[in-house]
Amino acid sequence: MSTYINDFIKNGEKRNLSKNTLEAYKRDLVKYEDFLSTRKEDFISSDEVSVMAFVQHLRSLNKANSSIVRIIVTLRVFYKYLVNKNIVDQSPLFNFENPKSKRNMPRILSVEEVDKLLNMPDGSTLKGIRDKAMLEVMYATGMKTTELINLKISDVNLKLSYIRCKNNKFERIIPIGSYASNCIEEYLKVRPEINFYKSEDLFFNLKGKKISRQGFWKIIKEYSAMLNIEKQIDSNILRHSFAVHLLQNGADIKSIQELLGHTTITSTQIYSSVSKKSKIMDVYKNAHPRA
């Protein structure tokens, strides 16, 4: 990995960019650097043709269009840094147009499927108690996976039934219902058994260390396999289901935007499309004699 990437990442650390953002930047830049080396080029000699060839290379690997767009965004930020440092005169992406990004509809579970998923953990084991608490909290609040695993014990107020959620942009207060409150309360009884390092984190892995995004993904994968449904499930499916189920039960889009922590209403409106599509399917199934 070149010194240009190292210096760029260090600059991002000084600007307090999140760890996940910096890791994504590093992965994308290393991919481009490796590709350039096959053409006997480097970051300095790279031009618009290099970028076009790189995009074609990514497509040949069947990379999703959204992934390609994200990588191009990374290269734009990186070359802006190089220009500001007078390392290059002009970015090779100056006249380059981003591929059109088609936004995928978020996958959701039905209310019945959510109930089944949340009841999968074994409530007689420490792991099961922890897993159920995590799943219930995500569905009750609509948090992102990163927000969930970064919760501190001081962020939870069971007396007033809310959780304080903090991210890089702002802080928000999210109410929680009785199901999530009860599951957190049960988890807090056994939490000292795995809190080997006296941490303030709310959730740990079974070795007492902070649970990772991959760790939570494995939890979702484990119980979704037991659920035995054909839907493709990812670690944010409870967040998406949270938003759509609120809409289906009469919540307004502005309130859901605030609960999800979206900075613009545009990001939230995609859930309206999912909700309408789901409602039409229900009407069809209930009304059509051959459904």
Phi, psi of 211 (to 5 degrees): -75, 140
Q: What is the Cα–Cα distance from 110 to 143, expressed in whole angstroms?
A: 18
Q: What is the Cα–Cα distance from 154 to 201, expressed in whole angstroms?
A: 9
Positions marked active-site: 169, 239, 262, 271
Pairing of strands 156-157, 162-166: antiparallel
Q: Which two tokens stand for residue 150?
A: 């970064």
Buried b (16+ CB within 10 A) or exposed e, 102-112: eeeebebbeee
Q: What is the Cα–Cα distance from 237 to 114, expressed in whole angstroms?
A: 10
Q: What is the Cα–Cα distance from 230 to 213, expressed in whole angstroms?
A: 23
Chain-centroid distance of CA 2 in Å reads: 29
Helix (H, G, I), strand (E, B) or coil at 92: coil
Cβ 171 vs Cβ 180: under 8 Å: no
φ/ψ bin of 86: left (φ > 0), alpha (ψ from -120 to 50), beta (otherwise): left
